[in-house]
Amino acid sequence: MHEFAVASDAHAQLIPITPEVQAAVAALGVTDGAVLVHVPHTTAAVTVNEGADPDVAADLLRRFDALVPWRDPADSHDEGNSAAHFKSSLVGCSSVLPVVGGKLALGTWQAVFFCEFDGPRRRRVQVFAVRDKAG
Number of residues that bind Zn ion (CB under 5 A): 2
- Toward Zn ion, which CB reaches closer, 8 or 81? 81
- Toward Zn ion, which CB reaches closer, 20 or 116? 116
- Toward Zn ion, which CB reaches closer, 49 or 121? 121
**Which positions from 35 through 94 interact with Zn ion, judged by CB under 5 A?**
79, 81
Q: How far is the CB of 85 from Zn ion (least distance, A)?
A: 6
12 vs 7, 16, 23, 28, CA distance in Å? 12, 13, 25, 30
CB-neighbour burial class of residue 30 (10 A; exposed 0-12, middle 13-18, buried 19+): buried
Q: What does the CA dihedral 45, 69, 49, 27 come to, rounded to 10 degrees?
A: -20
CB closest to Zn ion, residue no: 79
* 117/11 Cα distance (integer angstroms): 6
When asked if residue 9 is in the footprint of Zn ion (CB under 5 A), the reply is no
When asked if residue 3 is in the footprint of Zn ion (CB under 5 A), the reply is no
Q: Which residues bind Zn ion (CB under 5 A)?
A: 79, 81
